[in-house]
Structure 1
Amino acid sequence: MPSLGSMNDNELLPNMVAVAVLVITVTANVAIHIIELQRYQQKAIIPSIMMLLSLVMLVSMALSVSTMKRSLKWKYQEKHREALEEEEEEEEEMKMDDQRRRMMKYWVMAESSCPQFVVARSNVSAASSLISSLFYCIYTLVQVLRGARTNAAGKSLYGISTKWIVHIQSIGLGIAVIVAALRWFVAAVFTCTTTFSDTFKIESYWIQTLNDWRNSLLAGFKIGPNKWGKHLLDAQWCVLTFCIGVQCCVVLVSKTLVFFSGFMVTPFASCFSHMISKFARRDDGASSDTNLSRYVLLLDGEAELPESLVRSMCGEADRMIQIGREKKPSNLISLLRNINVGSSNNQITSLVSDQDCWTLQVVTLTSIAVALPNISEHQRKQLLSSVSQGLCLAKIVEKTLDTNAELKSIRKAASVTWVEVLVYSKWVEIDLRRAFLQCRNGEEVVQELSDKA
């Protein structure tokens, strides 16, 4: 279910249709087995019902993902503007600790508004995890008490391999259930501070998509003025109204389950929080004066995230900073230190001024350098390694700045060209090692490359 947060509108529909086809097909197969083999009826009906219920909750979550993303984007922009205004009021000269605290504000905003995290901590996702975990535990306990033993290996033409397949699938299912139980536990801890009145409130983002579909019926209605057109419009209106009612029921039931199950985990959560507050370091970046909790982005109706979770976000950022310090791009740093930018800046600018894609410019210049004569193999390898480290950083910056994806094709061409240069030492199918052996100096190489280009 959290993977829904990483999909856009064009990806959600085919993925949900694919999952629905799979679930309905399996359910149909189970129904056929129930009709043919009556002794499996009690064993197979309940799992099929639970599977269909999980599908309904998954569709319910998918219908609200797009609206959640738009709401989070708007909240992020508002909070980002507020953070910038605060920074303008502060002094221009900052210490390293001040810069780090400022960076943490944006880190907390980005982490708390991550769509996958928002979906995972939602009530529908938590309720689905709770139902799946409870059913799996009860079903497993019943099978153990009944002394159920799989006899598939004795009847199957594949022999004992089916037994191992069942065991491997059971292990995977068990891991999935453990992850689902942890997801429910975390969401239940979040809702410990939720009031009872908020439990029975349906936020607009849950039904906004269905409401938009229902309201767009009149705008897109093209059938002529006859009774069939009226009946068709009424039928579509009734179907979408029914779907909105089902969506509201799913959300209400999910909220109720998570709210009352939260009382079960409250003692464990309090004990766990006490242990964390006792042993955790207080100087991990979430100091009280910065008040990073107010930069946590929440949807309407969501419970406040625990302070310990905010501290863990900052701790994760610190760990990433430490990894960056330990794994510096040493080859790139060495190249930048040895390069004389001032003497060659004008020539480079005139060479690549027609392009806005940095990576393509770098790939082109590196291809020229690799083709130059009197360059040792060690120098070539060091140059390629340095540029490879730098391109990883440049691609991130380019993708971030290219908000409208205007340079997507150019960036893709740069990536393909760089793979050819790095692996095969070729530039647009020209061997950079052998094609210019007759050239005596760099000017001839550049001229030859220009002619071939």
Structure 2
Amino acid sequence: MGSNSLVEYNKILNQLNTYTNIPQHLISSFRHFSLLIYRSDEQNRFSEPMPWIGIYIALASLLCTLAMVADLVHGIRAKKLWFPSKYFTLNAASLSVIAVAIKLPMDLNNSMPGHTDQDAKIGSLAFMCTMMANLLPSLATMDNKELLTNIIALSVLVITLVVNVCIQIKTGLLSLYKYQDDLFETTNEGKDQSSSYMYVYTHRYGIVSTFYLGMLLMLLLTYVSSSVAILKSKQILNSKYQGGHERALKELESAGRGRLTVEKLKQHVTSYWIMAGTSSPGFVTACSATTSASGVICACSAGLAVLLMYLTIGYLREYKSDYKWSMLVIFITQFIGVILGSIAPLFRCFAYFSFNLSIKWMWNHHINVFKVESYWTQKLCDWKHSSIPFSVSSRIRKVIIRNLISAILSICIGFQKTVVVACKMIALIPILLVISVLYCTSCWKRMNKSEQLDKFKDLRRYIFTLEEDIELAERTLKGMTKSVNLVIRKAEKQQPSNLIKLLEGCSSFEGVGGYGNGSLHVPVLHTEDDHDLTCWSLTLVTLTAIAISIPNVSKKVTDRLLSSVSESLVYVTLVEESFNIASDGYVSKQKAAKSLWLEVELYHKWLGNELTKLAPQVTTAKQILESFRDTAENLNTEVGSLNICAESMYHTTKTFLFSYGDTIDKASREELFGELSSMIADLSAACLTNLPRVIAMKCHTNVIEKREESVHAATELLGETMQIINMLQDHQLPTLNTEELRLTDKWRGYLKHPSS
């Protein structure tokens, strides 16, 4: 009847009222339906935005699908076929998006009479199973607090979903009614057949929903079980990693003081790459029985979704709910998400056996499937034997509470063992396929066994596993070493070419001492502390500002110098930050250098002054330096960073003028530019001699969740700077210890007084 159905209905009743042959009580009974019609009109009006809400659901589903595909692509590109969760992780944001994506099965009172409507609601359950299987490895990247919070949040979401679907199964909302005959259909004889109108109730959707609910609950159990194991496994892996770290440090010290070659750095980086990879909670979790079981469940979920699509492919345009055409969009989007999102869990399904285990171990594991390793239940046992976390005054109450907690945890331990055994049994499904594949390649591996053992003999000392009887497969170890070489080769293509050209002109480090003199006392202008305010990066920026201000130097030459210094500052700043000089003064200087460099590089200005107009009347090199000196001396500001930059300029120009004495009077502007460029090259080279130590330091971090990221950054840095390290190998370093080599003042003091 449309939006004006109530008005039309009242007109009909008024017209009927004019007829004398129609009983008034019959017309009065018709008027009782006015309220129902009014409510129907209101419901239709309220349902008008529902298709756009459906599009919102489809967009949330698409976002989750893209995140899962991104993890898939990242795993393939990084040669990590256990597919770590990098983009699609369990957190507040992802849970919010997931809650939107599964809105359909959460809906308790919206009728879904069409095939597509029912399929879309069931498809959301399959999509939820897929997302949970993909999110499982991300648990390993969380600390204890995040882990607890996210597991509770996910449990609330899943349990709410399960309860809502159970209610819909009970009320019949998750079912499909088919019309046997048309309403009020009459036969040819004119006989009313309304009595033959009936519903044929089909249980297909209720049965499929029940299967999906069982999968969701099993996945939730694997989450809880994995979380308990992760808490203990991190402690075990961290302890083993610390032992390997100490061993690697001893080998690094034996490599020689201050002279780490590229080859030794490659060995060092590879050792840490293997340590970080095999002790990574993400790798261990991805190769665990629970993750393998979740992969099998996800594969079953996807197979059921494909079967459901096959059965209803001819009814895809049959949508009758308030969501209208958006139901088809939701169904197709989530079906694509199920198919693409099932790939990574399917690979993880085999990771438990294929990435880190030998055929012999798999066979033994198949026999001892009911064995539950200690790390699965150790955390629960620790809680069971720990003291009560709160104070209780009464001894009797304390005994009762203690016994109650012990009983609850004993039940949890038994339940945990049951879940682990169930997961191991599920995980045995793909074992026959894995054993067959590995057996076919075993002959080829025997031919190369001696070579592989010699090649990986030293690296096996850095392999860490939770179970002592596990031996990492050679193919996995070989894959890890290939990953290191791949990252290095890729980073080699990004080497700083301009910086390398600048360093090619550096034959010694004499320029480091050329702008300072220990016998000259330069008064402090704007700070209270009377100490040298230079640091590597600030000095480089200051010298570059002077160099590009020199008139009549071609733009091509100055641009090349700017590009070289820009590339140099990336690594110089990294050296300074890596050694973590914690004094407030040094940190302030680094910040001032970063701010000043933006001004110099982008706008060719120094503290707001145009470099080309700072001293327009100057004609000699000495006048240029004096102009910068006077400008810095006359600067009047209360901004701390500006004062630091002015101090650096004043100190540099003052000592430069003193160091070169009368020779500066005779120097041309071109000679001054050449001398400054040489100093910049020498300073960069001197600072970058610390790069091997920086690379070695970046390999290690105490935060277990960030170790893979840290060693990856160190490997990239090695690839980018290999040519620089090789270039500086032939340079004679000062007789300074490792701590002194990172400080500008120590370099200058040695170069001015090498005998001291």
TM-score (normalizing by structure 1): 0.77
Segment drifting more, 124-133 vs 151-160: 151-160
Mapped to 1, the partners of 2:221 and 2:160 lie a distance apart of 15
Contact 2:537 2:572 in 1 (8 A): no
Mapped to 2, the partners of 1:257 and 1:102 lie a distance apart of 40
1:341 is the counterpart of 2:512: yes
Q: Which runs of 5+ in 2 are unaligned?
A: 1-135, 176-204, 616-626, 641-756
1:216 is the counterpart of 2:382: no
C-alpha distance after superposition, 1:200-253 (max 9, x if no partner):
3333322222223223333x3412216555443333222222222222222222
| Structure 1 pair 209–166 and aligned structure 2 pair: CA distance change class (3 A) | same
Mapped to 1, the partners of 2:490 and 2:295 lie a distance apart of 34
CA apart distance, 1:11: 2.2
CA apart distance, 1:23: 1.6
CA apart distance, 1:276: 7.7
Segment drifting more, 310-319 vs 62-71: 62-71
| Structure 1 pair 76–395 and aligned structure 2 pair: CA distance change class (3 A) | farther
Equivalences for residues 263-282 of structure 1 within 5 A: 263-271=432-440
| Structure 1 pair 378–45 and aligned structure 2 pair: CA distance change class (3 A) | farther
- Structure 1 counterpart of 2:473, which letter? P
- The residue aligned with 2:125 is none
Mapped to 2, the partners of 1:412 and 1:168 lie a distance apart of 52
- The residue aligned with 2:143 is 8
- Structure 1 counterpart of 2:639, which letter? K
Match of 2:415 among 237, 241, 246: 246
- Structure 2 counterpart of 1:70, which letter? Q
Segment drifting more, 29-38 vs 114-123: 29-38
- Structure 2 counterpart of 1:328, which letter? Q
- Structure 2 counterpart of 1:9, which letter? N
- The residue aligned with 1:357 is none
- The residue aligned with 2:401 is 232
Segment drifting more, 441-450 vs 75-84: 441-450
Contact 1:126 1:187 in 2 (8 A): yes
Match of 1:75 among 228, 240, 261: 240
| Structure 1 pair 108–181 and aligned structure 2 pair: CA distance change class (3 A) | same
- Structure 2 counterpart of 1:374, which letter? S
Segment drifting more, 151-160 vs 81-90: 81-90
Q: Which runs of 5+ in 1 are unaligned?
A: 355-359
Contact 1:370 1:380 in 2 (8 A): no
Segment drifting more, 327-336 vs 246-255: 327-336
1:435 is the counterpart of 2:612: no
Mapped to 2, the partners of 1:68 and 1:286 lie a distance apart of 28
Mapped to 2, the partners of 1:424 and 1:152 lie a distance apart of 62
| Structure 1 pair 423–398 and aligned structure 2 pair: CA distance change class (3 A) | closer
| Structure 1 pair 136–317 and aligned structure 2 pair: CA distance change class (3 A) | same
C-alpha distance after superposition, 1:298-357 (max 9, x if no partner):
11256322111111111111112222322212233345556733424779xx999x9xxx
Match of 2:486 among 319, 322, 344: 319
| Structure 1 pair 104–426 and aligned structure 2 pair: CA distance change class (3 A) | closer
- The residue aligned with 2:162 is 27
Q: Over alpha carbons, which structure has the higher Rg? A: 2
1:178 is the counterpart of 2:343: yes
Contact 2:377 2:413 in 1 (8 A): yes
Match of 1:374 among 542, 545, 549: 549
- Structure 1 counterpart of 2:387, which letter? L
| Structure 1 pair 291–338 and aligned structure 2 pair: CA distance change class (3 A) | closer
1:295 is the counterpart of 2:465: no
Q: Secondary structure at the match of 1:154?
A: coil
Give the length in aligned residue pairs: 435
| Structure 1 pair 424–16 and aligned structure 2 pair: CA distance change class (3 A) | farther
C-alpha distance after superposition, 1:16-53 (max 9, x if no partner):
22222222232233233223315242231221221121
| Structure 1 pair 76–28 and aligned structure 2 pair: CA distance change class (3 A) | same
| Structure 1 pair 86–426 and aligned structure 2 pair: CA distance change class (3 A) | closer
Q: Secondary structure at the match of 1:217?
A: coil
Mapped to 2, the partners of 1:67 and 1:398 lie a distance apart of 36
Segment drifting more, 152-161 vs 318-327: 152-161
Q: Secondary structure at the match of 2:387?
A: helix
Contact 2:319 2:327 in 1 (8 A): no
Equivalences for residues 51-450 of structure 1 within 5 A: 51-82=216-247, 100-101=266-267, 103-137=269-303, 139-140=304-305, 142-144=307-309, 146-147=311-312, 154-189=319-354, 190-191=356-357, 192-194=359-361, 195-196=364-365, 199-218=369-388, 220-225=389-394, 227-259=396-428, 261-271=430-440, 287-288=454-455, 290-301=457-468, 303-337=470-504, 340-344=511-515, 364-365=538-539, 368=542, 374=549, 386=564, 389=567, 393=571, 418=594, 435-437=608-610, 440=615, 441-444=627-630, 446-447=632-633, 448=635
Supply the RMSD in Å over aligned alpha carbons.
4.5
| Structure 1 pair 155–95 and aligned structure 2 pair: CA distance change class (3 A) | same
CA apart distance, 1:164: 2.4
| Structure 1 pair 23–102 and aligned structure 2 pair: CA distance change class (3 A) | same
Q: Secondary structure at the match of 2:211?
A: helix
Q: Secondary structure at the match of 1:201?
A: coil
1:452 is the counterpart of 2:627: no
| Structure 1 pair 368–398 and aligned structure 2 pair: CA distance change class (3 A) | closer
- Structure 1 counterpart of 2:476, which letter? L
C-alpha distance after superposition, 1:99-154 (max 9, x if no partner):
645553333223222221111111221122122223432x1354256446665872
Mapped to 1, the partners of 2:423 and 2:591 lie a distance apart of 46
Mapped to 2, the partners of 1:323 and 1:161 lie a distance apart of 45
Contact 1:188 1:258 in 2 (8 A): no
Contact 2:353 2:431 in 1 (8 A): yes
Contact 1:152 1:163 in 2 (8 A): yes
Contact 1:367 1:421 in 2 (8 A): yes
CA apart distance, 1:266: 0.8
Mapped to 2, the partners of 1:398 and 1:230 lie a distance apart of 57
Contact 1:425 1:433 in 2 (8 A): yes
| Structure 1 pair 384–95 and aligned structure 2 pair: CA distance change class (3 A) | closer
CA apart distance, 1:267: 0.8
1:50 is the counterpart of 2:212: no
Contact 2:538 2:592 in 1 (8 A): no
- Structure 2 counterpart of 1:112, which letter? T
C-alpha distance after superposition, 1:130-186 (max 9, x if no partner):
22223432x135425644666587234454333223222222222221111111112
Q: Secondary structure at the match of 2:371?
A: coil
Mapped to 1, the partners of 2:226 and 2:385 lie a distance apart of 21
Mapped to 1, the partners of 2:139 and 2:576 lie a distance apart of 26
Segment drifting more, 194-203 vs 380-389: 380-389
Contact 1:293 1:307 in 2 (8 A): no
Contact 1:203 1:301 in 2 (8 A): no
Segment drifting more, 240-249 vs 149-158: 149-158
Contact 1:129 1:180 in 2 (8 A): yes
Contact 1:202 1:248 in 2 (8 A): yes
